[in-house]
Amino acid sequence: MDSKTVDVGGQRISYAESAGDGRPVVFVHGNSASSGTWQGVLEGSFGRRFRCLAIDLPGHGDSAPAADQAIYSLPGYARVVAEFAATLRVTDAVFVGWSLGGHIVLEAAPDLLPAAGFVIFGTPPVSGPADMANAFLPNPVMNVGFTAEVSPEDARAYAASFTAPGSTISLESSVADILRTDGAARACLMASLGAGQAADEAAIAGSLAQPLAILHGDQEQLVSLPFIQQLTIPSLWRGSVQVIPGTGHAPHLEDQAAFEALLTEFIADLG
């Protein structure tokens, strides 16, 4: 995959692009991650078939820290993703968001009208703070994602929560991403959520005109499947959450073949 940069509203944004020239697929990573989390997908058969664009959010990966810390919020990130797509003239695309990236995709969805469809995973669409206790599983390691200063030990514990319990996949890339992320991105995100700076994601998901696929690892350590299943989402792909066996919060890393197969089937169903 090729690493590139683009100016988005005065912000230097790094992104990776695959060799494919099929339908555009825009990937948005999670909290304290980077475009590198999608490397296997972009460099494999999926990336050779589709035009994959994986953004580094401000303060993450190789993108510059936010020029204005108000960007470190769901509305701020959503504006960056929408402007990124517009700057690169991406139309009729599928937007794929993992974890925080899924919340960003939902927040941005009303401004992504040319989008063909959406895929989220590790992302419970919440209406507001009152939903948080039911939407997320009780796991103290989640606090790392909202803490400015993170030790190597805490970074490893946080990365381990991305996978199924007992997983043997390497965590080194995830740990490195966590440690290189601008600490203000985590702290400011927490402050913005506390200030109520987030859209009603359940309402957005429930009113989407385009298909929405929701994927979920059956050994997820952070997100509640029953919470997602009780939501009313008329455009939900196949009418149900697609559960990927043997995976946790990051099925794209744990079972790339199963993840890519579902993405490919979703895109095929879009016509």
Per-residue pLDDT of the chain (271 residues; tens, 9 = 90+): 789 999 999 999 999 999 999 999 999 999 999 999 999 999 999 999 999 999 999 999 999 999 999 999 999 999 999 999 999 999 999 999 999 999 999 999 999 978 999 999 999 999 999 999 999 999 999 999 999 999 999 999 999 999 999 999 999 999 999 999 999 999 999 999 999 999 999 999 999 999 999 999 999 999 999 999 999 999 999 999 999 999 999 999 999 999 999 999 999 999 8
Cα–Cα distance, 98 to 162 (Å, whole number): 11
Cα–Cα distance, 77 to 58 (Å, whole number): 8
Q: Which two tokens mark 98? A: 């993992």
Residue from 174, 150, 153 nearest 249 by CA: 174
Please give the distance of CA 269 from its chain centroid, rounded to a whole number: 22
Residue the block writes with tokens 């987030």: 198
Residue 197 — left, alpha, or beta (φ > 0 → left; ψ -120 to 50 → alpha)? beta
Cα–Cα distance, 250 to 222 (Å, whole number): 11
Give how far Cα 230 sits from Cα of 14, 47, 126, 251, 258, Å: 37, 34, 12, 22, 24
Mapped onto helix, strand or coil, the DSSP state of residue 55 is strand
Cα–Cα distance, 197 to 14 (Å, whole number): 25
Cα–Cα distance, 26 to 91 (Å, whole number): 10
Tell me if 93 sits within 8 A of 81, measured CB to CB. no
